[in-house]
Amino acid sequence: MQSLERDYKHYYYIIREGISLKNYEERYLPIPVEYKRGKPKEHDADVLQLCAQAMCLEEMLVCTVKKGYLYYGESKRRVMIEFDLELRQKVSTTFERMHQLYNKRHTPKVKVSKACKACSLSEVCLPKLNKKISVTEYMEKNLGGGMQ
Ligand code: SF4
């Protein structure tokens, strides 16, 4: 028997706990594990990232993902994260804010920090460059035109 559940703004069907895999009879619970090189951070970016991944998995696999893990290379420990309603709402609110910024075509200035040195996005984020010129100026200078 399937039921329609509401989880904040996301609707999904729960048929049975877990998902089926091709050529396997049993059902499995997806549990995301995010590997980080460093140690747990003071802000909640890692937790929000993991919860967003879980919400994507739920939509993709039509299941419920209740928890996940953050594994930190420095401490060689993993931290269990429960995806409660409060955390899910924070992810949704963050995405809403991102969409608002995108619709306004506004790219906020980044705050350069020591985390940028080890960030895997530094090659595309270019935080130091962002301090010098605007995105429009960068596009005009390097691509020969402004943003569409
Ligand atoms: S490089 Fe960009 S995305 Fe990475 S930590 Fe710095 S500001 Fe954030």
- pLDDT tens digits, 18-58: 788 888 888 888 999 999 988 898 889 999 999 999 999 99
DSSP 3-state of 19 = strand
Res 145: pLDDT? 56
List, for residues 54-93, the tens digit of each pLDDT value.
999 999 988 889 999 999 999 999 999 999 999 999 999 9
50, 68 in Cβ contact below 8 A?
yes
Q: Are residues 76 and 66 in the same domain?
A: yes
Cα 113 to ligand 1 centre (Å): 8
pTM above 0.75, yes or no: no
Q: Is 126 in the pocket of ligand 1 (CB under 6 A)?
A: no
- Domain containing 118 equals 108-148
Q: Which of 60-64, 71-75, 105-109, 118-122 has the highest mean pLDDT?
A: 71-75
Spatial CA neighbour of 80 closest among 66, 69, 65: 69
Cα 28 to ligand 1 centre (Å): 35
Q: Are residues 37 and 78 in the same domain?
A: yes
Q: Are residues 79 and 33 in the same domain?
A: yes
Q: Are residues 38 and 72 in the same domain?
A: yes
Question: In this structure, what token pair is assigned to residue 98?
Answer: 């991102």
Q: Is 129 in the pocket of ligand 1 (CB under 6 A)?
A: no
Give dist(CA 59, CA 13) in Å, integer.
9
Q: Is 20 in the pocket of ligand 1 (CB under 6 A)?
A: no
Q: Are residues 139 and 81 in the same domain?
A: no
Per the structure, the count of domains in the chain is 2
Cα 147 to ligand 1 centre (Å): 22
Ligand 1 atom 5: the closest Cα is on which residue?
Answer: 116
Q: Are residues 69 and 138 in the same domain?
A: no
Residue 10 confidence (pLDDT) above 70? no
Q: Are residues 84 and 25 in the same domain?
A: yes
Q: Are residues 123 and 140 in the same domain?
A: yes
Cα 27 to ligand 1 centre (Å): 39
For the chain, the 3-state helix, strand and coil shares in percent, each to the nearest 5, are 40, 20, 40
DSSP 3-state of 128 = helix
Q: Are residues 29 and 88 in the same domain?
A: yes
In the beta sheet, which residues pair with residue 81? 68
Q: Are residues 95 and 49 in the same domain?
A: yes
Give dist(CA 108, CA 82) in Å, integer.
30
Give dist(CA 88, CA 52) in Å, integer.
8
Q: Are residues 64 and 113 in the same domain?
A: no
Q: Are residues 100 and 141 in the same domain?
A: no
3 vs 1, which has greater pLDDT? 3
- Give the sign of the dihedral formed by CA 71, CA 73, CA 77, CA 79: negative
